[in-house]
């Protein structure tokens, strides 16, 4: 059998893709909750979540749902009803104990085995207030738990931590918080780019104090749903969880085609399980499928070419897609286009900047 250069490289890339997928060890997540508050597993999750202050059309309320993961904030009335346009990328966990002045006393513990990679001890250094990031290796790319609004941090960067090990104290540092609303904001994230600083310098005039561990570079997955899924099935992996259908936060919402500039996107090198559909002969672009949260779900080679990133599929909606995608795409029905913030987002996730 004669193999030309193109089919040889096709075979080679298929083999590499295959070996990347099969060599990944699937460690158990071993997830634990970060505080003594376990009500997420109860029939009354309202006691797990800290409320938000809502003022909608002149009516003030304190809905606990504002503390849940997902599109749970910033209501907007549309012709098709009320939609929630702001994405909360984590969960806000209520304190279990307070001192006589009302300060929270809860210990914050690592949610899984890992290594502390970042601490920000300046309460005014970020909207997160004092926060820290722990890296977890479960055999399918790096994941990062992020703990925000802390009163104090007791672990140091580089330190290895075990699941359940105290690493901080709950507080209410950061913007827009008061003592009554003290809580832990917890995220579990994918990292978008190792070259975040370069991208940041192009688009922002302010100083980035957080290196690659800026919240802008971390995409929070539906951690609440992951906890509940993991409780029922402790062998679930994060890719397995994301592949599960039937959840509006993890199902495909739009697909963006981007010019192919290298043999593999950085995000696919980091998360090989994103590669779907195998290699394609003569591929000219990548099709990246996103959940409405912006979490990438799949990257496929396409033989169609594009000059610039373009939305090639969107889940039909009667209301503007911008409401459901943190304004990354706009349009209605079954058409959509990238907004300027959506274009910047695609730049960061594809490394095209």
Binding site for Zn ion (CB under 5 A): 92, 185
Q: Which is nearer to Zn ion, 136 or 185 (CB)?
A: 185
d(CA 31, CA 41): 13
Could you tell me which residues are beta bridge partners of residue 109?
A: 166
d(CA 121, CA 129): 8
Residue 133: is it exposed, middle or buried by C-beta count within 10 angstroms (0-12/13-18/19+)?
buried
Q: Is 95 helix (H, G, I), strand (E, B) or coil?
A: coil
Could you tell me which residues are beta bridge partners of residue 291?
A: 252
Q: Which is nearer to Zn ion, 177 or 311 (CB)?
A: 177
Q: Measured from the CB of residue 153, what is the shortest distance to Zn ion in angstroms?
A: 18
Only one residue has tokens 């599960």, namely 244
Which DSSP helix (H) or strand (E) runs through 156?
A: none
d(CA 212, CA 195): 8
Could you tell me which residues are beta bridge partners of residue 288?
A: 256, 299
Q: Measured from the CB of residue 222, what is the shortest distance to Zn ion in angstroms?
A: 14
* Nearest in space to 192 (alpha carbons), one of 267, 129, 133, 287: 267
Q: Which is nearer to Zn ion, 225 or 319 (CB)?
A: 225
Q: Measured from the CB of residue 339, what is the shortest distance to Zn ion in angstroms?
A: 24
For Zn ion, the nearest residue by Cβ is 185
Q: Measured from the CB of residue 70, what is the shortest distance to Zn ion in angstroms?
A: 11
CA angle (154 as vertex; 152, 155 as ends), nearest 5: 130
Q: Which is nearer to Zn ion, 64 or 199 (CB)?
A: 64
Q: Which is nearer to Zn ion, 185 or 324 (CB)?
A: 185
Q: Which is nearer to Zn ion, 185 or 328 (CB)?
A: 185
Q: Measured from the CB of residue 299, what is the shortest distance to Zn ion in angstroms?
A: 29
Q: Measured from the CB of residue 226, what is the shortest distance to Zn ion in angstroms?
A: 16
């Amino acid at each position: 059998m004669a193999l030309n250069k193109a089919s040889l490289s096709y075979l080679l890339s298929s083999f590499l893709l295959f070996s990347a997928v099969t060599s990944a060890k699937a460690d158990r997540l071993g997830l634990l909750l970060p505080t003594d508050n376990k009500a997420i597993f109860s029939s009354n999750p309202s006691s797990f979540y800290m409320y938000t202050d809502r003022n909608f059309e002149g009516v003030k309320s304190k809905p606990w749902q504002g503390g849940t993961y997902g599109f749970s904030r910033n209501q907007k009335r549309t012709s098709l009803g009320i939609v929630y346009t702001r994405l909360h990328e984590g969960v806000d966990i209520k304190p279990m104990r307070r001192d006589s002045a009302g300060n929270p006393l809860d210990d914050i513990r690592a949610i899984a085995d890992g290594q502390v990679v970042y601490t920000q001890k300046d309460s005014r250094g970020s909207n997160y207030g004092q926060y820290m990031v722990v890296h977890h290796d479960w055999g399918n790319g790096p994941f990062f738990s992020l703990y925000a609004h802390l009163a104090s941090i007791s672990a140091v960067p580089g330190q290895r931590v075990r699941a359940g090990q105290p690493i901080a104290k709950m507080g209410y540092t950061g913007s827009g918080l008061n003592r009554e609303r003290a809580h832990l904001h917890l995220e579990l994230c994918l990292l978008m780019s190792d070259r975040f600083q370069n991208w940041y310098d192009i688009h922002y005039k302010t100083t980035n104090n957080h290196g690659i561990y800026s919240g802008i570079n971390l995409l929070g997955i539906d951690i609440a749903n992951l906890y509940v899924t993991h409780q029922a099935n402790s062998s679930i992996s994060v890719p397995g969880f994301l592949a599960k259908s039937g959840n509006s936060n993890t199902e495909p919402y739009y697909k963006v085609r981007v010019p192919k500039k290298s043999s593999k996107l950085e995000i696919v090198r980091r998360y090989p399980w994103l590669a779907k559909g195998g290699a394609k002969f003569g591929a000219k672009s990548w099709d990246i499928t996103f959940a409405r949260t912006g979490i990438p779900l799949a990257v496929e080679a396409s033989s169609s070419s594009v000059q610039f990133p373009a939305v090639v599929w969107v889940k039909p909606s009667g209301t503007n897609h911008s409401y459901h995608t943190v304004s990354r795409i706009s349009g209605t029905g079954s058409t959509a286009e990238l907004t300027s913030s959506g274009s910047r987002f695609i730049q960061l996730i594809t490394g095209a900047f």
